[in-house]
Structure 1
């Protein structure tokens, strides 16, 4: 089974304004409310690709109830922990000539709440996939991903980590099956300026030396670079299309990689599926659909 964890899910209020004017009344030309959070995005796209999974995490208040309702409306299975206080956050995604975001803070998560999650994770079995994606609330230990992976380290679970900074660096010693920083995050990890593909490959290989089994570097319109567990470098250009939505494209790439890998455990095909799925979300108002993914996959194969 595939599990995703979203520690701080949200309702994403997505609005489009033709020409946003600061300090004035602006009227939308498009608006929609989606369940948000990197793990949730992965879960939804996996379900769109016919891969069963369970979304874990924390919800609170009426916004939390709506998050769960919307996630289930996509056909996903959930096992969220309902917090007794606070409310799940609302994030505003403003699309105009430039994209802007206002992200809420979210509820507090106590030690007792964490223990409930650990009990759920104790039920994972050998061969399961656990996706740890996104930032974490301030009320949680900064090394929470590390704590989880240490607790489950003997279960032979495939960990997939899509995080940044110390959150990512600290878990490399547990040999995650896949990590997916983008090229900007890669530069930040090593405090360097990345000028070309050779630099990307150089620092991606350093992440492998630090413990990661497979490293996928997303590059937006420039495609992606993949370093597999045999240290083979595979490159892919992004399919042609008009970028409509950058929200969730990276999460979709992770979901596509997982779905592609589960077909026959071929890493090269998983990589191509990941690129197609990330692009499918970027070229759509919402998250990638199966039809759009396979349409773009034909351009990559």
Structure 2
């Protein structure tokens, strides 16, 4: 089973307002509700590609119930810890002459709640996979990812898509895949990466520190994968116009995982990951299977 972890999921309320005016009544022209959070995005793309996953994390209140029910209808299993205080956050994303975001706080996760999550991950079995995505909320301990992975006793594959310090702290667990972007990779070593050779060199440093496969995304320049055999693969992006980059990185992670599970081939995994990331970037909302297939043919 594949498990995704989203510590602070959300309902994303995305609205279009023509010429927003502060202090006035404004009416929406379009509105959409999405089930948000990086790990949840991964679960949704995996479902599009035919892979079942279980979403872990914390939910609370009526918004948490809506998120849980919605994911289950989309074919994503859920096993959230239900928190008593607060509610699952609503993030308002307004598109007008300028884009504005108002992000909610999320529930108040206690030590007892976190212990409940640790109990769930301790029950993972040999051959499972766990995907940790996104940042840790300020209300939780900075070493929460480390504690989650430390609670796993089975032989599982670990995937982490997080920023600098979070990523570096978990390399001792020998993750199957990490996915920094090229800027984050440079920040980790306090260097500027000017060439593909630079990126490959520092990706291999992350391997020396414990990572098995390092997938470096480079926005419009595509991606570079250094696989666990030391081989480097570079691939461009699909053809299209970027509409919305939210969820593109998560889609790439999901596609890579699905591609590797399909064929046990890293080049194919990178190609499917690229197709998923590009398809999401070129459309409003997360990509569909048809959109992914269309991009895949162009790579």
Q: Report the TM range for the smaller structure's normalisation.
A: over 0.9
Structure 1: give runs of 5+ residues left out of the alignment.
Answer: none
Q: 1:27 to 1:270 in 2, by over 3 A?
A: same
Does structure 1 conserve the Cα–Cα contact (< 8 Å) formed by 2:48 and 2:289? Answer: yes
Distance (whole Å) between structure 2 residues aligned to residue 214 and residue 143 of structure 1: 23
Partner of 2:31: 31
Does structure 2 conserve the Cα–Cα contact (< 8 Å) formed by 1:276 and 1:294? Answer: yes
Partner of 1:278: 277
Does structure 2 conserve the Cα–Cα contact (< 8 Å) formed by 1:34 and 1:70? Answer: no
Partner of 1:87: 87
Does structure 2 conserve the Cα–Cα contact (< 8 Å) formed by 1:164 and 1:189? Answer: no
Does structure 2 conserve the Cα–Cα contact (< 8 Å) formed by 1:2 and 1:52? Answer: yes
- Paired residues, number: 299
What SS does the aligned partner of 1:299 have?
coil
What SS does the aligned partner of 1:217 have?
strand
What SS does the aligned partner of 2:287 have?
coil
What SS does the aligned partner of 2:166 have?
helix
- TM-score when scaled to structure 1? 0.93
Please say if 1:132 is aligned against 2:141. no
Q: 1:162 to 1:139 in 2, by over 3 A?
A: same
The one-character-per-residue Cα deviations of 1:193-245 (angstroms, maximum 9, x if unpaired) are 33332332222222111111001111222211111001111011101101111
Cα distance, 1:184 vs structure 2 = 2.4
Partner of 2:113: 113
Distance (whole Å) between structure 2 residues aligned to residue 95 and residue 195 of structure 1: 34
State the 4+ residue runs in structure 1 displaced beyond 4 angstroms.
Answer: 17-27, 96-100
Distance (whole Å) between structure 2 residues aligned to residue 186 and residue 160 of structure 1: 16
What SS does the aligned partner of 2:91 have?
strand
What RMSD, in angstroms, separates the aligned Cα atoms of the two structures? 1.8
Distance (whole Å) between structure 2 residues aligned to residue 195 and residue 4 of structure 1: 33
Does structure 1 conserve the Cα–Cα contact (< 8 Å) formed by 2:45 and 2:251? Answer: yes
Partner of 1:64: 64
Structure 2: give runs of 5+ residues left out of the alignment.
Answer: none
Distance (whole Å) between structure 2 residues aligned to residue 186 and residue 26 of structure 1: 42
Does structure 1 conserve the Cα–Cα contact (< 8 Å) formed by 2:52 and 2:75? Answer: no
Distance (whole Å) between structure 2 residues aligned to residue 222 and residue 48 of structure 1: 26
Does structure 1 conserve the Cα–Cα contact (< 8 Å) formed by 2:4 and 2:55? Answer: yes
Distance (whole Å) between structure 2 residues aligned to residue 7 and residue 121 of structure 1: 13
